[in-house]
Structure formats: C-alpha cells, structure tokens
C-alpha cells in the first residue's frame, strides 16, 4: 500500500513496485473517478476497494482515508511517502 501527500510520487513508485514484484496495481483515483470526473458514491467506492484488496497480491496506491480500514488489515507493507514541500518563492 502506498500513501502520502499529493505530488509525493505515489503513482510513480507504485508503477515501479508493481513491475519489480509482478503485482497487480490499483490506483484509488481510478476506482473513485468515473468518466467525466464523476465521483463514485461512497458505498460503490468501498465495494471496488474491497474487491481490489481481496486479491492475494496487490499494490494499491492512494489515500482515501474512508477506505483505509478495508486495505490496512490486508497490507503486508505500507509505504508512506513524506517528502518536504519546497517553495520556489524567495523569502
């Protein structure tokens, strides 16, 4: 399971981990968002996440705090990417 703030590299890292270990990859954003940027209903999203997490082996990338309890018990490893946010502005 790979979680962390926006822009931390969750998707990139997930692709690399999935490829390295030959694991199916699921992106939480792809489960949540339907065509036209229509958001899934809560129960619909939870059903999709539960199905993804029920697989024997997986990488699931993304936060979505309301679904953590579906993924955490099934995760062997949790990668939390916590990089400092750099400001390009001058002080």
Question: Do 9 and 87 touch, CB atoms closer than 8 A?
Answer: no
| 38 domain residue, yes or no | yes
| 28 domain residue, yes or no | yes
| 8 domain residue, yes or no | yes
The DSSP secondary-structure symbol of 63 reads: -
| 86 domain residue, yes or no | no
| 44 domain residue, yes or no | yes
| 88 domain residue, yes or no | no
Host domain of residue 34: 2-80
10-residue averages of pLDDT along the chain (91 residues)? 93 97 98 97 98 98 97 97 67 50
Q: How many domains does the chain have?
A: 1
Token pair 């199905």 in the structure block, residue: 51
| 65 domain residue, yes or no | yes
Among 60, 83, 84, which residue's Cα sits nearest to residue 73? 60
pTM of the model: 0.87
């Amino acid at each position: 399971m790979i979680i962390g703030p926006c822009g931390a590299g969750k998707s990139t890292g997930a692709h690399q981990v999935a490829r390295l270990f030959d694991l199916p990859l699921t992106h939480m954003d792809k489960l949540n968002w339907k065509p036209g940027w229509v958001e899934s209903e809560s129960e619909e999203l939870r059903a999709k996440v539960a199905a993804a997490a029920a697989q024997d082996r997986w990488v699931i990338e993304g936060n979505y705090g309301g679904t953590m309890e579906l993924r955490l018990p099934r995760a062997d490893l949790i990668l939390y990417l916590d990089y400092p946010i750099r400001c390009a502005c001058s002080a």
